[in-house]
Amino acid sequence: MNIGKDLVAASATPLILSILSEGESYGYAIIKRVAELSGGELQWTDGMLYPVLHRLERNGFVKTVWGKSESARQRKYYRLTDSGAEELARHRRQWQVVGNALRRTMFKSK
């Protein structure tokens, strides 16, 4: 299934914030988690994740922590901040509204 560009872009921030609310993570792991959560349906161009992460960092929603990878290379981990958690809560309320509305029409059981 091909998910439209706008929807992918709109869902990226809440998805990343939610994944990070499960614990700190790094780029590749986030991508894998997204694929896992969507059953492989939600495909990002991998590199595009990073500018989004950097924007979240600039807005103070996540912060970076340097750690080591399995092969002992430097790796940048991202961790949700308190204001990131608030942002996630805002997203949750918004998506709830959208989801409820869709459920009542699009997904209405006949």
Residue 71 touching another protein (CB under 8 A)? yes
Which C-beta is closer to another protein: that of 50 or that of 103?
50
Cα 95 off chain centre by: 13
How does strand 62-68 pair with strand 74-80?
Answer: antiparallel
From the number of C-beta atoms within 10 Å of its C-beta (0-12, 13-18, 19+), residue 45 rates as exposed
Binding mask 11-50 for another protein (x = CB under 8 A): ---------------xxxx-x-------------xxxx-x
Among the residue ranges 68-76, 80-88, 90-98, 101-109, the one whose residues contact another protein (CB under 8 A): 68-76
Residue 72 touching another protein (CB under 8 A)? no
**Cβ 54 to another protein shortest distance, Å:** 5
Q: Where do the DSSP E strands lie in the chain?
A: 62-68, 74-80
Q: Distance between CA 8 and CA 76 in Å, rounded?
A: 24
Q: Which residues bind another protein (CB under 8 A)?
A: 26-29, 31, 45-48, 50-52, 54-55, 58, 69, 71, 73-76
